[in-house]
């Protein structure tokens, strides 16, 4: 069975410990028949037997031994049970730790396509609730199953040694129990799959709401969000209740069957005692061990419910566990070369699933050149630059860096040659210093300050209460849009890569600051090819070349002066931004 094989594989170093725990469970549970055995001997010898009174006065030593044995076995069972539970906990927690690390690495190595198609809330549910369900299964469900089965079998064996016929009477209840359990398991399984999906939706809604709380507040949509959350919460509640209450449809049958053991014992056992087939002590042994048969039936509902939850959770974990990224980082580049920084697009087309975003794009950028990319929103600019570090792979054509198709370069080496400041700025909850040095933890304080100066960030950083040691909140909360952009720019500059990609990095800074940044970029103290996506002519004007995109196609290319002379898209934008007149410039 796939699920068991998977668990076995992941137990790895804890297999011996887990098997020990299972064996100890069997031993512990088998010991439960010791007490009924000793009580049977005590009843038959000292209470209800023919020579009970005589034995009581003559065999005091035996009575004391039996009582001490009973106490001794109970203590032994308690001690063993404690030790066994520790083994279950250790092995399942260790396994959980290893799987969590493995899954985290797996998620890290996925490509952008994976993140486009997986919701954060769902991934978080897999990494927390689903994983814990696996641990619970190893530490509790399997333990309960093994113990229930052992007690059931041990009781059966013991009963058979006492009286075969009476035991067979009891066994006639087994087939209906199996039928009822099977029907219950079959019915409840899809419910737990559905329940798992609703939990994921609930978590996704919660996660989105918390991370997007500023937007919610800005639009005063709290009531709407609460309603949305309540909807998902009610959905989850209903699914939970439905799954839990299904058990009630089957519960009366199993409870009746469980009670029937006592009835059979009372009628058949009573008759057998009366006609002398079994002794009173043997009847007492049956009576005290009958829970070993009826208890598993009472537990069956919980076990089946948990097993179905486990299957639903495991199928979700396995989705991450076996996910294979389309773009693989082998991490095998030991000697990472420094590229010159030539970039070439050869008839590149790109589709997100079925939607064509880039269409037959060709251009070449020489080392050290500064190229600005401009175009209307949605024209494919970000997509274009995402193809250089292979965040996505081209659908057609080739992207070459230093003359080699990026698909033939080791990802570590390729990305180790590119510094990126993305459009959607993300800062980590760390100090400003830590954020700037993110790509190079060895960066000295002096260099950090230097790159912050180049990115026009030093002044506002020193005005902050703790300067470079100020902790910025999650995603850079506490900083303005322009401040975040400047820290992200310093972070991209600090890695000193031969290719620098800036995606709309100065859109939120004022013109004066932008000019400072432009000067810094021109006078970087390391050779660097720069690709700058920008909407402002003030940013693009000084570039060596400007590429204009429209609908995924390269429609204009040239210097600022050439493009103005062309009187095309660039000229219109220029006029619009400089003279404030409409697009219909004659
Ligand atoms: N991850 C994605 N999955 C599917 N479609 C996408 C994805 N990212 C972008 N698109 C689509 O691809 C097109 C180009 O997007 P892209 O972000 O490259 O444009 P852009 O020119 O950078 O736009 P902007 O100037 O607004 O940043 C858009 O129509 C967008 O809807």
CATH number of the domain that residue 49 is part of? 1.20.1560.10
C-alpha–C-alpha distance, residues 424 and 421, integer Å: 9
Q: Which residues pair with 371 in a beta bridge?
A: 531, 545
Q: Are residues 398 and 539 in the same domain?
A: yes
Residue 552 in contact with ligand 1 by CB distance below 6 A: no
Q: Name the residue at shortest CA distance from atom 29 of ligand 1.
A: 378
Domain holding 433: CATH number?
3.40.50.300
Is residue 474 over pLDDT 90?
no
Q: Are residues 193 and 119 in the same domain?
A: yes
- Asked if residue 400 lies in contact with residue 343, where contact means CB atoms within 8 angstroms, the answer is yes
Q: Are residues 86 and 174 in the same domain?
A: yes
How does the average pLDDT of the chain come out, rounded?
86
pLDDT at 582: 44
Least confident interval from 51-60, 157-166, 274-283, 529-538 = 51-60
> Could you tell me if residue 193 is inside a domain?
yes
Strands 499-503 and 418-421: parallel
Average pLDDT over residues 497-511: 84
**Residue to probe by mutation, ligand 1, list 118, 380, 531, 539, most atoms within 8 Å of CB:** 380
> Could you tell me if residue 308 is inside a domain?
yes
Average pLDDT over residues 315-328: 88
217 is in which domain, residue-wise?
A: 14-321
- Helix ranges restricted to H, 47-173: 52-58, 60-109, 112-117, 120-125, 131-136, 142-162, 164-171
Closest CA to 258 of 179, 141, 181, 177: 177
Atom of ligand 1 nearest to the CA of 380: 18
Q: Are residues 304 and 374 in the same domain?
A: no
* Distance from Cα 383 to the centre of ligand 1, integer Å: 6
Q: Are residues 297 and 353 in the same domain?
A: no
pLDDT at 20: 96
| CA 462 centroid distance within chain | 39
Strands 499-503 and 545-550: unpaired
Residue labelled with tokens 């100090």: 431
Average pLDDT over residues 251-264: 85
Residue 116 in contact with ligand 1 by CB distance below 6 A: yes
> Could you tell me if residue 169 is inside a domain?
yes
> Could you tell me if residue 330 is inside a domain?
no
Is residue 576 over pLDDT 90?
no
pLDDT at 83: 95
**Residue to probe by mutation, ligand 1, list 112, 326, 378, most atoms within 8 Å of CB:** 378
pLDDT, tens only, 391-406: 999 999 999 999 999 9
Using CA atoms, how far residue 203 sits from 44, 208, 298, in Å, is: 62, 8, 33
pLDDT at 477: 61
> Could you tell me if residue 2 is inside a domain?
no
> Could you tell me if residue 328 is inside a domain?
no
* Distance from Cα 346 to the centre of ligand 1, integer Å: 21
Q: Are residues 388 and 282 in the same domain?
A: no
pLDDT at 579: 65
Q: Are residues 285 and 403 in the same domain?
A: no
Angle of CA points 74, 77, 79, to nearest 5°: 110
Residue labelled with tokens 């370069």: 409
Share of the chain above pLDDT 70, in %: 98
pLDDT at 91: 95
Q: Are residues 303 and 351 in the same domain?
A: no
Measure the N-to-C terminal CA separation of the chain; round to a whole number of Å: 74
pLDDT at 102: 93
Q: Name the residue at shortest CA distance from atom 5 of ligand 1.
A: 352
Q: Are residues 304 and 361 in the same domain?
A: no
- Asked if residue 306 lies in contact with residue 137, where contact means CB atoms within 8 angstroms, the answer is yes
pLDDT at 586: 35
Average pLDDT over residues 185-211: 85
Residue labelled with tokens 């400007």: 546
Share of the chain above pLDDT 90, in %: 27
Could you tell me the pLDDT band of residue 94, with boundaries at 50, 70 and 90? Answer: very high
Cα dihedral: 124, 129, 131, 133 (round 10)? -160
> Could you tell me if residue 586 is inside a domain?
no
pLDDT at 520: 83
Q: Are residues 120 and 18 in the same domain?
A: yes
The structure tokens listed for 209 are 């709401």
Is residue 316 over pLDDT 50?
yes
Could you tell me the pLDDT band of residue 581, with boundaries at 50, 70 and 90? Answer: very low
- Helix ranges restricted to H, 118-163: 120-125, 131-136, 142-162
Q: Are residues 487 and 568 in the same domain?
A: yes
pLDDT, tens only, 423-434: 888 888 888 888
> Could you tell me if residue 331 is inside a domain?
no
* Distance from Cα 429 to the centre of ligand 1, integer Å: 27
* Distance from Cα 331 to the centre of ligand 1, integer Å: 29
Could you tell me the pLDDT band of residue 475, with boundaries at 50, 70 and 90? Answer: low
C-alpha–C-alpha distance, residues 461 and 458, integer Å: 5
Is residue 23 over pLDDT 90?
yes
* Distance from Cα 120 to the centre of ligand 1, integer Å: 20
Number of domains composing the chain:
2
C-alpha–C-alpha distance, residues 528 and 18, integer Å: 56
Q: Are residues 112 and 154 in the same domain?
A: yes
Average pLDDT over residues 296-323: 86
> Which contacts of 404-411 are long-range, i.e. CB under 8 A and separated by 24 or more positions?
410/329, 410/330, 410/332, 410/333, 411/327, 411/328, 411/329, 411/330
Residues 6+ apart with CB under 8 A from 122: 200, 203, 204, 316
Residue 354 in contact with ligand 1 by CB distance below 6 A: no
C-alpha–C-alpha distance, residues 93 and 136, integer Å: 9
Q: Name the residue at shortest CA distance from atom 3 of ligand 1.
A: 352
Residue labelled with tokens 């079994």: 278
């Amino acid at each position: 069975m796939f699920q068991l094989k998977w668990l076995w594989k992941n137990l790895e170093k804890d297999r011996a410990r887990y098997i020990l725990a299972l064996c100890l469970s069997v031993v512990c549970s088998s010991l439960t028949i010791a007490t009924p055995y000793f009580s049977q001997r005590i009843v038959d010898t000292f209470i209800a037997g023919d020579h009970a009174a005589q034995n009581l006065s003559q065999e005091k030593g035996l009575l004391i031994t039996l009582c001490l044995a009973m106490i001794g076995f109970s203590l032994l069972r308690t001690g063993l049970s404690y030790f066994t539970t520790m083994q279950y906990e250790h092995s399942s927690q260790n396994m959980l730790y290893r799987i969590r690390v493995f899954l985290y690495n797996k998620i890290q190595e996925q490509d952008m396509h994976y993140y486009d198609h997986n919701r954060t809330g769902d991934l978080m549910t897999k990494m927390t609730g689903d994983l814990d369900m696996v641990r619970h299964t190893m530490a509790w469900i399997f333990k309960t199953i093994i113990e229930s089965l052992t007690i059931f079998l041990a009781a059966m064996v013991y009963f058979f040694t006492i009286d075969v016929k009476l035991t067979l009477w009891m066994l006639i209840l087994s087939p209906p129990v199996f039928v009822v359990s099977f029907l219950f398991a079959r019915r409840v399984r899809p419910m737990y799959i559905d329940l798992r999906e609703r939990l994921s939706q609930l978590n996704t809604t919660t996660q989105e709401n918390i991370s997007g709380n500023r937007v919610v507040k800005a639009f005063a949509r709290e009531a709407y969000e609460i309603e949305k959350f309540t909807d998902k919460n009610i959905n989850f509640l209903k699914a939970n209740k439905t799954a839990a209450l299904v058990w009630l449809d089957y519960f009366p049958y199993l409870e009746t069957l469980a009670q029937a053991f006592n009835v059979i014992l009372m009628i058949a056992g009573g008759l057998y005692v009366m006609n002398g087939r079994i002794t009173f002590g043997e009847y007492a042994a049956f009576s005290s061990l009958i829970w070993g048969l009826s208890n598993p039936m009472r537990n069956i509902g919980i076990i089946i419910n948990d097993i179905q939850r486990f299957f639903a959770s495991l199928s979700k974990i396995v989705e991450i566990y076996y996910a294979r990224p389309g773009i693989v980082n082998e991490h095998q580049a030991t000697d990472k070369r420094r590229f010159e920084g030539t970039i070439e697009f050869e008839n590149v087309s790109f589709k997100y699933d079925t939607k064509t975003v880039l269409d037959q794009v060709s251009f070449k950028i020489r080392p050290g050149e500064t190229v600005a990319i401009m175009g209307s929103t949605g024209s494919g600019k970000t997509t274009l630059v995402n193809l250089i570090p292979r965040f996505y792979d081209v659908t057609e054509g080739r992207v070459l860096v230093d003359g080699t198709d990026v698909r033939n370069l080791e990802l570590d080496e390729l990305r180790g040659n590119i510094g990126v400041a993305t459009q959607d700025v993300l800062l980590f909850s760390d100090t400003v210093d830590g954020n700037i040095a993110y790509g190079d933890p060895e960066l000295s304080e002096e260099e950090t300050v230097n790159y912050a100066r180049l990115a026009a960030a030093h002044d506002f950083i020193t005005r902050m209460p703790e300067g470079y040691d100020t902790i910025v909140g999650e995603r850079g909360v506490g900083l303005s849009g322009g401040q975040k952009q400047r820290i992200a720019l310093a972070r991209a500059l600090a890695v000193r890569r031969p290719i620098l990609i800036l995606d709309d990095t100065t859109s939120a800074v004022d013109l004066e600051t932008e000019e400072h940044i432009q000067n810094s970029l021109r006078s970087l103290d390391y050779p660097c090819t720069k690709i700058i996506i920008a909407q402002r002519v003030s940013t693009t004007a000084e570039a060596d070349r400007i590429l204009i995109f429209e609908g995924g196609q390269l429609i204009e290319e040239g210097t600022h002066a050439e493009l103005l002379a062309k009187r095309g898209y660039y000229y219109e934008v220029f006029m619009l931004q400089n003279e404030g007149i409409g697009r219909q410039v004659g």
